[in-house]
A and B are shown apart, each in its own frame.
Chain A
Amino acid sequence: MSDNKILFNSGSLEELSEELGKTIGNEESKLKLGPDNADSGLAKLVLTLIELIRKLVEKQAMRRVDGGLLTDDEIENLGETLMKLEDKMEELKKHFNLTDKDLNINLGPLGDLM
């Protein structure tokens, strides 16, 4: 690596490297994945998809609530369903030893649905 490719930076470099670490993700851990842990990789893929859909539903629901056209009962029901879904998701994450960060993987065009 010879070139420094930072053309403009208004923040401090410390902040910047920290930020980049967050956006780019932990490449090291990515690279260590191999055939031995394909199981958890699959769980990760499936849970990521479920989480994406759950979030989409939740977002849509909040738009409806914000729209103000739902009755009290409807809001109550919605709240119960979504809250239970969220709890269930937490359970699954715990079961497979996955954190939110693990489920924050790049899904390509699918991710743009959010």
Chain B
Amino acid sequence: MNHNVVDQSKDITILELLDRVLNKGVILTGDIVISVADIDLVYLGVKLMLCSVETMEQLKLGKSVPEKL
């Protein structure tokens, strides 16, 4: 294997790992913070989506919201 091939295999492994770490795995519902700061993570599931809608409602009502990331 030449260097290029090694690099590319590595890239692919990295992409696959990133996808898993950021989008999969056990979700902690209380952990709205990162979901709000990183909008895309909000879309992960309906449950989370509903959570973030709740957060937005709270924002609108001026209630306290967990501090931002």
What is the interface of chain A, defined by CB distance below 8 A to chain B? 1, 3-6, 13-14, 16-17, 20-21, 24, 27, 30-31, 33-35, 37-38, 41-42, 44-45, 48, 105-110
The distance in angstroms between the C-alpha atoms of A22 and B45, with both chains bound, is 21
Expressed in whole angstroms, the minimum distance between the Cβ of A23 and any Cβ of chain B is 8
Whether A105 touches B40, Cβ cut-off 8 Å, given contacts A1-B17, A4-B10, A27-B19, is: yes
Measured between beta carbons, the chain B residues less than 8 angstroms from A21 are 15
CA gap between A4 and B7 in the complex, in Å: 10
Interface size on B, residues (CB 8 A): 33
Q: Give the number of A-B contacts (CB < 8 Å).
A: 85
B22 at the interface (CB under 8 A from A): yes
Majority secondary structure, A binding face: helix
Contact of B13 among A4, A45, A108, A109 (CB under 8 A): A4
Residues of B within 8 A of A (CB): 5-6, 8-19, 22-23, 36-49, 56, 68-69
Are A106 and B43 closer than 8 Å at their CB atoms? yes
User: Given A4-B13, A17-B12, A20-B12, is A27 in contact with B42 using a C-beta cutoff of 8 Å?
Assistant: no
Question: Would you call A108 and B36 a contact (CB within 8 A)?
Answer: no
Contact A13/B43 with A27-B19, A106-B23 known, Cβ cut-off 8 Å: no
Contact between B15 and A35, CB atoms less than 8 A apart = no
Q: How far is the CB of A51 from chain B (nearest CB, A)?
A: 13
Chain B residues with Cβ below 8 Å from A13 are 5, 8-9, 12
